[in-house]
Amino acid sequence: MRYTRFILLFCLVSAATVQAQVRKYSNEFLSVGVGAKALALSNATVATTDDVTAGYWNPAGLTGVRSNMELGLMHSEYFAGIAKYDYGAIALPVDSFSTIGLSMLRFGVDNIPNTIDLVQPDGSFDYDKIKSFSAADYAFLFSYARKSKIEGLSYGANVKVIHRIVGSFAQAWGFGLDAGVQYKHKQWAFGAMGRDITGTFNSWSYSLDDKTKQVFALTQNEIPVTSNEVTLPKLILAASYTYIYNANITIRPELDADLTFDGMRNVLIKSDPLSIDPHLGVEVGFKDMVFLRGGVFNIQQIHDFNGNRIYTVQPNFGVGLKFKNISLDYALANIGSQSGIPYSNVFSLKLDFYKKKKYHFE
């Protein structure tokens, strides 16, 4: 039980070490992805996304929503159910040229025991003093997409608001912008997505009582003060081709490449300051009703037990069912940054709503 207090210390200290500096890994919960379809494709979807999840992947794709309103939901759990990841979004076409959307994400760990007040001044233990708190990250994305006068070309942007909390001890607010384009011509599709194009700024504030400050001092941890962090821009380039095998079967591969400019990362193509992380996904559709999906990503170079450098890759898999206005997708996906981390079962649901036609009789 006494070790649970270090969860609180870890959450606060990791947030406090920023001190107005640029971090290579910031707001990483926004890199997980949304929708079982995209996760099964190893996030290779920037060029072809055309439903409510486009508000996250590439807002330009929201122009592909054909219904009067589209709703998307997803729930998944990671690390043996300790962390829960939830997503909900709505897309509403304004007219035949433009669409708006709202996406909401939460990645959090709940019911973390706070044992700061467990030990009483006389050395006894009072278990009634144990309270629980949550460490959670929230994101709200407000999207707008529009078709251009050039046939097949659309563009869109996100305004995103970030809110991160560690119980009542710390919280952060952040703001940023994304922008994307898509171009589709015949069976080809191309996309580009700029994440955090102006840099996404998070400002942390802390509220610690005297007992918590005393614990920090006794454990030789720095007492956190107001601080800021910046998420640097990332550019994603993507291309896809839809191969029509016959009247019933289509095959659509897509290759995406994440370009980061914050120094060398452990990815396939690495340099300073530019690193390129490719990921590939393939979807096979049958009568636009049943879909098989797979993808590979997170290509890294590591050392094996003998000290030799080897490359590792993480595959994802999934299936999808579509019937009228309901789409149900499943993915067996790995969001971890290292091999061996357990896979998670991800389910997502998409619903299309249509206005009823009014009939006039004379």
CA dist., res. 33 & res. 170, Å (int): 25
Residue 91 reports pLDDT greater than 80 = yes
Quote the pLDDT of residue 358: 54
Q: Which residues pair with 177 in a beta bridge?
A: 159
Q: pLDDT-derived band of residue 169, with 50, 70 and 90 as boundaries?
A: confident
**pLDDT tens-digit readout, 197-231:** 988 888 888 887 776 777 777 777 777 777 788 88
Q: pLDDT-derived band of residue 292, with 50, 70 and 90 as boundaries?
A: very high
DSSP annotation of 24 reads S
Residue 113 reports pLDDT greater than 70 = yes
Pairing of strands 227-231, 243-244: unpaired
| Percent of the chain surpassing pLDDT 70 | 87
Residue 3 reports pLDDT greater than 60 = no
Q: Which residues pair with 185 in a beta bridge?
A: 188
Residue 264 reports pLDDT greater than 90 = no
CA dist., res. 37 & res. 50, Å (int): 12
CA dist., res. 334 & res. 340, Å (int): 9
Give the Å distances, CA to CA, from 33 to 54, 57, 162, 188: 11, 8, 16, 24
Quote the pLDDT of residue 1: 42
Quote the pLDDT of residue 357: 60
**pLDDT tens-digit readout, 48-69:** 999 999 999 999 999 999 999 9
Q: Considering the entire predicted model, what is its pTM? A: 0.84
Domains of the chain, earliest start first: 2-353 (2.40.160)
DSSP 246-280: SSSEEEEEEEEEEEE-SS--SSSEE-SS-EEEEEE
CA dist., res. 185 & res. 191, Å (int): 12
Residue 4 reports pLDDT greater than 50 = no
Burial of 219 per CB tally in 10 Å (0-12, 13-18, 19+): exposed
How many other β-carbons are positioned within 10 Å of the β-carbon of residue 144? Answer: 18
DSSP annotation of 4 reads G
CA dist., res. 9 & res. 218, Å (int): 12
DSSP 71-118: EEEEEEEETTTTEEEEEEEEEEE-SSSEEEEEEEEEEEEEEEEE-TTS
**pLDDT tens-digit readout, 312-335:** 888 999 999 999 899 999 999 876
Looking at every residue in the chain, the average pLDDT score rounds to: 85
